Amino acid sequence: MAVLDSSRMALTDCSSALSWRRQNSAAYRNNVQIWHALRSKALPLASLGAGSFDLSRKPFSTGQPLRHLPLTGPSRLGHRKAGLEVAAKAYEAAGKSEGQPSKSALQNDVPLPDAGRKLKIGVYFATWWALNVVFNIYNKKVLNAFPFPWLTSTLSLAAGTAIMLSSWITRLVDAPDTDLDFWKALFPVAVAHTIGHVAATVSMSKVAVSFTHIIKSAEPAFSVIIQSLLMGEHFPLPVYLSLVPIIGGCALAAVTELNFNMIGFMGAMISNIAFVFRNIFSKKGMQGKSVGGMNYYACLSILSLALLTPFALAVEGPQLWAAGWQKAIQEIGPHFVWWVVAQSVFYHLYNQVSYMSLNEISPLTFSIGNTMKRVTVIVSSIIVFRTAVQPINAAGAAIAILGTFLYSQAKQ
């Protein structure tokens, strides 16, 4: 009897083992079908019921043993009209931590750059450069006829503020989710941005657009010097070497500038310093904030407008603005109003596109694009305004811009 009972128990165990194997083999095949169906979006997510699957990995990994993982929730999905009756079980490669996709899964899931994305980046760059060229041309036209850079700077920020508020109200753009901590962190960024914006406009009111942008190409040199002296940061030797052509080229261009003006020169230098601090404050204070892209620049414009308006009223004032406006209308005609609107709107648009570009490209690509943008502006302004340029002055500008390009390469 004992032998018979032992044989009967052995047969029962074998039967149970074979049954378990058949069930799990069927479950495995079902899970493979589910995984492929979900990846191709052929099976609605609603048909999965309460079961859970790790869709970031495939149901098997070549060369590694499989182990069975029960799911939380029901072990079998109910039959539905739009679905299938499947066993809700999942498998993963043994030895992998749960929730961590395998190397092969990551390689298959990461989208590679395609022609569409490259075209999108190319459109961003072309739009960014074109808007910047248009802004600089109209900005200089306005400042030649209406030499009030504080009001001109204020109108640029006001136009951007009006555009973004309208976009948020009409829900063309989702309004950012901000709190008091966000605005506190943004405040020093806005202060530096305001100073840099006004200083650059003051510079353009006194000297040629091309000269202002040649001096502003020295911003990387100020960045390295300020971060080294004040923050104790160290950079690779190629970065320091790239500063030699930047500083030397700017100095050569300044010395040989036919229409040199100290206020214009100092305005561009102050703008460089202010924008360096803007980048430092933004990097340190805005980490972890969820606002980015065009909404970040919109918030920056709004706060900068609030900071700049009282200073513009104090420095220039409504009486000077009224007299200057009347004189400009008499000399230029109604077209002057269009110039003011164009420079204000295009200032916001080119900055907005530049911040949108940052979401699509790497910092290195952005730096190269910014360098080429400055070349485009310098050449365009020389052609439009017929600026007299000596060969040695052009050589200085080329050396400075080449140094900026080398800096962007060495910085990476």
| Distance in angstroms (rounded) separating the CA atoms of residues 378 and 390 | 14
Q: Are 89 and 70 in contact (CB under 8 A)?
A: yes
Contacts of 33 (CB under 8 A, 6+ apart): 84, 86
| Distance in angstroms (rounded) separating the CA atoms of residues 114 and 132 | 27
On the CB side of 199, CA atoms within 13 Å amount to: 21
**pLDDT at position 64:** 44
Q: Residue ranges per domain, the chain?
A: 24-106, 117-411
Query: What single string gives the DSSP state of each residue in 249-281?
Result: HHHHHHHT-TT--HHHHHHHHHHHHHHHHHHHH
| Distance in angstroms (rounded) separating the CA atoms of residues 34 and 73 | 17
Which residue type occupies 338? Answer: W
| Distances 32 to 23, 29, 60, 150, 207 between C-alpha atoms, Å | 14, 5, 8, 67, 70
Task: Give helix then strand counts, H and E, for the chain.
Answer: 14, 2
Q: Are 274 and 192 in contact (CB under 8 A)?
A: yes
| Distance in angstroms (rounded) separating the CA atoms of residues 344 and 13 | 83
**pLDDT at position 383:** 92
Which residue type occupies 248? Answer: G
Give the tens place of pLDDT for each residue, 365-412: 677 777 788 888 999 999 999 988 889 999 999 999 999 888 888 876
Q: Are 208 and 324 in contact (CB under 8 A)?
A: no
Give the tens place of pLDDT for each residue, 178-191: 889 899 999 999 99
Q: Are 163 and 156 in contact (CB under 8 A)?
A: no
> Given the structure tokens 């972890």, which residue do they identify?
288
Query: What single string gives the DSSP state of each residue in 309-376?
Result: HHHHHHHT-HHHHHHHHHHHHHHH-THHHHHHHHHHHHHHHHHHHHHHHHTTS-HHHHHHHHHHHHHH
Residue from 69, 62, 80, 73 nearest 27 by CA: 69
User: Cα 325 vs. chain centroid, distance in angstroms?
Assistant: 37
| pLDDT, averaged in runs of 10, over the chain (412 residues) | 49 52 55 52 40 40 43 42 38 36 41 67 84 95 96 96 94 90 92 96 95 91 89 88 92 90 95 91 73 84 96 95 95 93 94 78 70 88 90 92 88 73
Helix/strand/coil (H/E/C) assignment for every residue in 91-139: EEECCCCCCCCCHHHHHHHCCCCCHHHHHHHHHHHHHHHHHHHHHHHHH
Q: Are 66 and 94 in contact (CB under 8 A)?
A: yes
Range list of H helices, 146-179 = 149-169
Give me the count of residues in the chain.
Answer: 412
| Distance in angstroms (rounded) separating the CA atoms of residues 41 and 31 | 15
User: Cα 113 vs. chain centroid, distance in angstroms?
Assistant: 17
| Distances 15 to 3, 95, 102 between C-alpha atoms, Å | 18, 30, 35
Residue 148, helix vs strand vs coil: coil
User: Cα 19 vs. chain centroid, distance in angstroms?
Assistant: 57
| Distance in angstroms (rounded) separating the CA atoms of residues 146 and 201 | 12
Contacts of 7 (CB under 8 A, 6+ apart): none
